[in-house]
Amino acid sequence: MTDSNYTRVYTGNFAQVQSILSRLEEIGISAVVKDEGESARLAAFAAPAAMQQIFVHKDELDKAVPVVQEISSEF
């Protein structure tokens, strides 16, 4: 397994993820979204509706976590 410079900070549905991404972008954080359901669909595999995951660079983790916690408490 390879080391990554990114850390998962949230897993949720599309609407929740989009809300968090918008807020992270407002404070200058470019997050990465992993959507295995969409990847499976594009590869023509059947997959249940999957949750999306948000990853941020380790250097931005301290700024991102409070934002994610604040917004996710609203769900």
Task: Dump pLDDT digits (tens) for 16-51.
Answer: 999 999 999 999 999 999 987 655 555 455 555 678
| Predicted confidence (pLDDT) at residue 5 exceeds the cutoff of 90 | yes
Closest CA to 51 of 34, 72, 68, 71: 34
**Total count of domains within the chain:** 1
Average pLDDT, the chain: 85
Residue 1 lies in a domain: no
Residue 32 lies in a domain: yes
User: Can you give the residue range of the structural domain that contains 45?
Assistant: 6-72
User: 8 or 45: which carries more pLDDT confidence?
Assistant: 8
Residue 44 lies in a domain: yes
**pLDDT bucket at 1, cuts 50 / 70 / 90:** very low
Q: For residue 30, what pLDDT is reported?
A: 94
Q: For residue 36, what pLDDT is reported?
A: 75
The CATH number covering residue 68 comes to: 3.30.70
C-alpha to C-alpha distance for 40 and 45, rounded to whole angstroms: 5
Residue 62 lies in a domain: yes
pTM of full prediction above 0.85: no
C-alpha to C-alpha distance for 39 and 42, rounded to whole angstroms: 5
